[in-house]
Structure 1
Amino acid sequence: MSRPVASLALQHLQVLDLTRVRAGPTCCRVLADFGADVIKIEAPPGVDPNENILGERSSYDNQNLHRNKRSLTLNLKQEAGLALFMKLVATADIVVENFRPDVKDRLGIGYEALAARNPRIILASISGFGQDGPYRKRAGFDQIAQGMGGFMSITGKLGDGPMRAGIALADSSAGLYAALGILVALAEREHSGRGQWVHTSLLEAQIALCDFQAALYLVDGKVPQKAGNDHPYATPMGTVPVADGFINIGVGGDGQWRAFCAAIERPELADHPDYATQPLRQQHRAALMDLLNGIFKTKSGAEWIERMERAGVPSGPIYAMDEVFADPQVRHLGIAQKVSDGRPDIRLVGQPVTLSRTPASLVTPIPEAGEHTDEILREAGLDEAQIAALRAKKVV
């Protein structure tokens, strides 16, 4: 039986997905949505005490993370299970894992072992803190990385305590960086014919996401501070209260500042001695924002956004999630995509990048555990008697 293919872009690749929770599955989701044959390898029922860590298998989170994949149950703690895994490695392109670094070595599936079986294999490893170093064996969770990576120290209002992001920022970004590393390794393999070991961590990914705030310290030696909803180094750029809630505004330079002053019908502010340049506006930010807050409270958000748009000044509403997906531009982009799982109206979050000839798509929901075990084993050359024997021994 031919498998549904989400895209032609990566349909020539096979991925053995040993990951769980979020970072690793995020990486494999990218590959699956662009057509790779991602085989989700999971322990047979009852073997893994944490098998439902993200809730029921059909939950929104699992559906979003594991669409477009096939499922093979395999007990890697049994010798026969490990041998079967290595048989699959021989013809696969990529293995992705997010065990603690010592686990794969203990199982005998580190990069050197995989490469000995298949020199073209690419192993992608995602950990909490890195593959070596003093923290290599520590368990890593997203919020821990947000704290240690500096993000929580620069998020929230000045004077308040640390604040996490409302999403799994370190997890998701580590998964995306791993996918990027895999694609680079695939491109290099076209020349060398050899695979390599790609690895990242939640901690590294979170530090990288801090970007210019991290660079401020590394280059200038300054420790960045919280700025709440204001941009840390540009004013006025942040949230302002309006008659019916809040909106975002963004004034990026002196030209936009002048257009902005005209749009709010306060042209005299353009050359005000406290606000005429960006450094002055930053120096007097508190007074300027107090002034602007009073002005913006006089009209609705829609009125102000229309004025800003006419003036060429960036602005936008601040949506709850239902409003996000009701927005006409979001609907036009089609990032909410349907996938059939017996509920015709289920929608998931699609890939946020479009390829003109080989776009990603959603074709299948999360598979049942072991749904494709027999199919995958037959593809690997096993006959029905061999598959039955593996089941009897609870290897699969």
Structure 2
Amino acid sequence: MAGPLEGIKVLELSRTLAGPFCSMQLADMGAEVVKVEQPGIGDETRSYIPPEINGESTYFMSLNKNKKGITLNLKTDEGQRIVKQLVKDSDVLIENFRNGTMEKFGLGYDVLKEINPRLVYCAVSGFGRTGPMKDEPAYDLLMQGFGGFMSVTGEAGGAPVRAGYSIVDLATGLYASLGVVLALLAREKSGKGQYVESSLLETIVSLTNYLGQGVLATGKVPGRLGSAHPNLVPYQAFETKDGHVIIAVPNDWLWRKMCVALELHDLKDHPKYAVNVNRVANREELVGILTEYTKSKESSEIIERLKGAGIPSGPINDIAQLLEHPQVQYREMIQEVEHPTIGMLKMLGVPLKLSDTPGSVRKAPPLLSENTDDVLTTLGYSLEDIADFKEKGII
């Protein structure tokens, strides 16, 4: 079955994380993505080693499956002409250059929309393409700090820590892919493409969500709570005899069931703990009592008791344990694809499940310039032209 974006052609002029993650979402859903990289060097994540497989960066692989790969020197007139030819037949262009770079190449939206009025042009940036900080560089780590994320991540009183995943970059890529699909939907009605923006700044502001809304409403600034939740207790990791376990009690009904399951009957109707607002007010005292209990038990015993009573609970897996889990395997989140130099390559699957037009893992991440000759041939260039381009460093 074909993916929902089959027939959509995407030209990717992005690198590192947010832009490539955006285009990979589209590729997984059937779009034909042609990724343009710098000749001889490629996307900088090709050099993010270790880890690697046969010299290929696993970081690069994680962001570029289902894509064709070509190289073009965008600083040359011929390279720019080739991009314009590709744009004529493209539905989407994604770029994450610094502000003004595409215009310097003569490839800004105002130019490209004249070539193809149906083009959806997606610009991914750090602080947005307008405003006093539009020219500032931004990386995920910087934005975790700037965006308040690190102020609420880590243990109370501890030093600022980065989230283990590049959450701002990844979420920006997801927002960008949503923007592209929405613009394609709007094009069905208007017949015209449009300019789409997604920035790390606006993503992290959006992700403050209930914390941000709380500050706007009350002026009270939240701090670090480790694994705990600012509005719910108990809702965190607890130390056990052999490790840690997650206990998540989001309402008073489950609180009562938890107390019965763990035989903590004295706590169930205690006025300090019976309702969540009081549990939050007495957080430190209650967490201390619960920790004293959990430290006397094995993780498996606590999880078994709580799950048997319908209380949300679970282990803290490492990533290998996650990827080996039967549920992850059953949901086809680990798939294999043939790689030209590695052989069969295991890759992460497609998280969205569509019953009639599912996404799929069809192609391994491209080698540097793997598809350049084929793509240029479809544009009408001869083998002699292509050889000349290589000699001149255009491709």
When the two structures are superposed, what TM-score results if normalisation uses the length of structure 2? Answer: 0.95
Question: Quick one: distance in 2 between partners of 1:145 and 1:7?
Answer: 37
- Shift in Å at residue 343 of structure 1? 4.0
Q: 1:167 aligns with which of 161, 165, 172?
A: 165
User: Aligned runs of 1:44-193 on 2, under 5 Å?
Assistant: 44-45=39-40, 50=44, 52-55=46-49, 58-193=56-191
- Stretch of structure 1 that moved more, 385-394 or 295-304: 385-394
- Shift in Å at residue 161 of structure 1? 2.2
Give the aligned partner of residue 9 of structure 2.
14
Aligned Cα root-mean-square deviation (Å): 1.7
User: Aligned runs of 1:1-396 on 2, under 5 Å?
Assistant: 7-45=2-40, 50=44, 52-55=46-49, 58-341=56-339, 342-344=341-343, 346-396=345-395
Q: Deviations over 1:97-148 (max 9, x none)?
A: 1101111111121111110100000111111111011111111111001111
Question: Quick one: distance in 2 between partners of 1:141 and 1:128?
Answer: 7
SS in 1 for 2:180: helix
- Shift in Å at residue 249 of structure 1? 0.5
Q: Which residue type is aligned with residue 156 of structure 1? A: G
SS in 2 for 1:339: strand
When the two structures are superposed, what TM-score results if normalisation uses the length of structure 1? Answer: 0.94
Runs ≥4 residues deviating over 2 A: 48-57, 342-346, 381-394
Change (3 A) 1:50 1:261: closer
Q: Deviations over 1:165-218 (max 9, x none)?
A: 011111111111100100000100000010011111112112212211111112
SS in 2 for 1:133: coil
Question: Quick one: distance in 1 between partners of 2:107 and 2:369?
Answer: 21
Change (3 A) 1:210 1:51: closer
- Shift in Å at residue 51 of structure 1? 7.2
- Shift in Å at residue 18 of structure 1? 0.7
Q: Deviations over 1:12-59 (max 9, x none)?
A: 11111111111111001111111111001112115x795744347712
Q: Which residue type is aligned with residue 237 of structure 1? A: Y
Q: Which residue type is aligned with residue 64 of structure 1? A: S
Change (3 A) 1:49 1:304: closer
SS in 1 for 2:63: helix
Question: Quick one: distance in 2 between partners of 1:382 and 1:114?
Answer: 21
2:15–2:43 Cα contact (<8 Å) kept: no
Note the residue ranges of structure 2 that are not aligned, 5 or more in a row.
none
Note the residue ranges of structure 1 that are not aligned, 5 or more in a row.
1-5
Q: Which residue type is aligned with residue 168 of structure 2? A: A
2:69–2:370 Cα contact (<8 Å) kept: yes
Give the aligned partner of residue 3 of structure 1.
none
Task: Calculate percent identity across the aligned residue pairs.
Answer: 38
Question: Quick one: distance in 1 between partners of 2:176 and 2:13?
Answer: 14
Question: Quick one: distance in 1 between partners of 2:245 and 2:62?
Answer: 29
Q: Deviations over 1:319-375 (max 9, x none)?
A: 011211222222222212112225455312222111112222212212122111121
